Every structure is written in structure tokens, then in C-alpha cells.
Amino acid sequence: MKVIDLTIPLGVGTPPWPTYIPLQVQYFKRLAPNGANGQVVTHSNHIGTHLDGEIHFYTPGKDIASLDMDFLVHEGAIVDLSDVCGDYDVYTSKMVEERVEVKEGDILIIHTGYHHYGWDQPTGDEIRYMIKHPGPDREFAEWAKKKKLRWIGVDCGSADHPMNTKIREWMPRQAKECDAHFQKKYGKSLEEFFSDDKYQLMHIEMFDKGIIHAECVGGDIDLLLNQRAVIGCYPWRFVDGESSIARIVAHVEDDRYEELMKKKAKAELTRFGDVAGAKNPWLHEEARKNHK
């Protein structure tokens, strides 16, 4: 069994979710004169690839330390929605099930394609990554509950539509763009589509049901589009943790790993050695040909 990393690089340049504390690293001792290097690290939990825990939005929920490994590591699906989702779009359960088999109790990772705009990518665009990515409506949330999904992962800033969060207030120019887009594509204004009763529904309406999610997934995700694998999320064993920075990976058999590495050898990579998603459209075309 080998591992495919689905985690983005984490450094001082990694953007946290808007308004959250970024990563800060300070040396408090050095080899000269202390004989060792030592660092103090300060950050919020919502930076880089991270897992949102139940108590992030649900007071009596589980902390991160209470999550069982059987919950965190399980079979799952990685779906590519980048061919049907652009700026501010809304994705549906139908789009998912048209592309990959999703079983009851699965982990589901959603590739919107917006990790291509992540800070680690040669095509990085922080505004698009955090503010313009696609997101779901309540239909998707209800489907996820019926499927009894363990947890969901997304390759962008939030599992909610960005304009169904506080971002709508913080970024009025982009909210105006989104409103025009919604009226043209969906026949409703932004206020009508995402009314107050739907506010942050992927957090508020899911965490009390035990369905949490990971955000800012990436790494070599483009190698596994519209495929199934054993997926593992490895956060800290964080007592009282509302969320946690995490390592997310796909576990694959050795022979499958070798085939995936042959594909990676043909791909253009980021400066961190991951597949540069937007620079390798052939990987997405291949995934679309092979989806069910």
C-alpha cells in the first residue's frame, strides 16, 4: 500500500480563511549559540488543509480528539466537477453521481478545480480560491445526509458557497458579481437563492448530524479524479479542538501507485513537486472519459 498526498503545502504564505490568524513562525533559538534550532509557531486552525470539527459550529459536538480512526480513514470517492463548475456556480448531487460511484458511508472529496488557484500553484489567484469558488445548496446537504457520508473534502476555501458565508458582507464587489451571475444562470438573486434560513448550511445543518468536512484539499488530487480509493484524514489528537490542520491522503495498492506515478512523471509540477492542476488538462480530459 502506497500513499498519494492530497494536502497543500503549508507556510507563512498560505492564506487562512479570510479574517483568521495566519501562520507565523519565529526562531527562539539557533544553532549558534544554542546548539539547536527551535521555533515558536502561531496560527488559527483554519489554514492550509484542515478538518472542521463539530464544535466549530455545534457547541455540544465532538472535539477533534474524539473522532475515531474508522471515521477518519475509509473508502471514498474523489469527484471532478471542474467541467461543470465555474466562478460562483452551484453544484448538485446529480453532478457528483453522474461522474463517480458514491456508496453509503463513504468519504467524498470534491475537486471543483479551484485548488488550481491556490497559493502553491503557478496559476494562483487568492480571490478566486477563497471568494469565487463553487459551492452547494441545501439539496446537496440533504443528499449527503441520506448517503450517511462520513466526511466531505473540498479543494477550495470552504465547503459552503462563499457567498453563503460572511464573505458576502466582506466582499461587496464580488457579491454584486455573484448576484448578477445568479440572476442570469439561476433566475434568482443572491438574496433569494441563499436566504437567511440557508446561511452556512454545510456547517450549521451538518455538524450536528456528525457530517463534518475538510477544506483546502489539494496536493496530487488531479491524479485521482473520478476514482475511488481509501482516503485518510490525519488531524492532531486535539483535545477541545474545534478544528485541526490535517494531512489528507489516498491509500492505493502498489501496482496502482506505480501507474499513477507514471502519469505524474509526464505532468508539469508545482515548485513543491505536486501536479500543477491547470497546467495538465489531459488529466482532467482522461478523467472525464473514464467516469461512469
pLDDT by residue (tens digit) across 38-70? 999 999 999 999 999 999 999 999 999 999 999
**Whether the model pTM is above 0.85:** yes
Q: Is residue 107 classed as helix, strand or coil in its secondary structure?
A: strand
Q: Where are the domains of the chain?
A: 2-15+46-290
b/e map 182-193, b = 16+ CB within 10 Å? beeeeeeebeeb
Which residue, among 32, 34, 39, 31, has the nearest Cα to 11 in the 3D structure?
39
In the chain, the amino acid numbered 289 is K
For residue 290, what pLDDT is reported?
75
How far apart, in Å, do the first and last CA atoms of the chain sit?
Answer: 25
Q: How far is CA 211 from CA 62, 136, 147, in A?
A: 11, 15, 11
Burial label for 136, CB within 10 Å (0-12, 13-18, 19+), is buried
Which residue, among 135, 129, 140, 106, has the nearest Cα to 48 in the 3D structure?
129
The highest-level CATH class for domain 2-15+46-290 is alpha beta
Output the nine-digit C-alpha cell for 250. Answer: 489516498
pLDDT in tens, 182-228: 999 999 999 999 999 999 999 999 999 999 999 999 999 999 999 99
Mean pLDDT score, 157-168: 99
Q: Nearest-5° angle of CA 7, CA 20, CA 195?
A: 95
How many Cα atoms are found within 13 Å in the side-chain-facing hemisphere of 87? 14
pLDDT in tens, 245-274: 999 999 999 999 999 999 999 999 999 999
Q: How far is CA 24 from CA 8, 47, 49, 176, in A?
A: 17, 11, 16, 33
